[in-house]
Structure 1
């Protein structure tokens, strides 16, 4: 199991990725799952970066894997979370995601995540499971959306 100190760092990274998802959604005005270079400039500004138009265009070129002039959610997360490391927790989350996808429930509580870890034989405590869900819980109801969890897990390296 991850050390208590390192788990705190791990869940902070998950929370940061969730915040990136929320930022992407906030600037995807037409909800088509894509953002333009103008929207990227706005997102980066909201995250505290003061970038020139040239900087934004370079970022778009770096992040736009399919070269369509737009960034998808996946491309945006890859661009902004590629150096993020959540340690051993990342591999646990990838395994848990597969089990949760089979359940087909839209919401996942800390208790449900803990049950998945236990059933898979992974050494993650209930407290750790609750902390993971809390780091991704956007509305504070004690559960995370499976779709958000999938986006985050798929952005981990």
Structure 2
């Protein structure tokens, strides 16, 4: 079994960008296990979020945008921070860069809440055109959710004034 290499380097360039969800498997089961109510689950299951990953210096921002709700979080690799998750938990979260192509976030709630610890693993293909997000609960592999995202490529800007003058 290969060992994982955890890095404190900045994110590779292919991880930076906007990614639109295309497919989702077992998201409802995952939300049920987290105790998300039926109304919120029904809405969330019909959304196709865009994840925006940015980096400025050593600070990373990871925003998830939908027509229903936008969540924003900023962090530094290998440093614990307080995160308010989309499902309403408050967690101590740490993010690590694994094997140079995976971004892992582990979210640990206060044990007295009874909430589960969760893991988000974002894995990118070689050119960064596809991001696979695996949502899991350690010890409960039957409720692992896999969501596939494709990179959004910005439209090239057309120099309108130059075209009009020609």
TM class by smaller structure: under 0.3
Greater percentage in helix: 1
Larger Cα-atom Rg = 2
TM-score, with length taken from structure 2: 0.25
Higher RCO (CA-CA < 8 Å; seq separation 6+):
1
TM-score, with length taken from structure 1: 0.25
Greater percentage in strand: 2
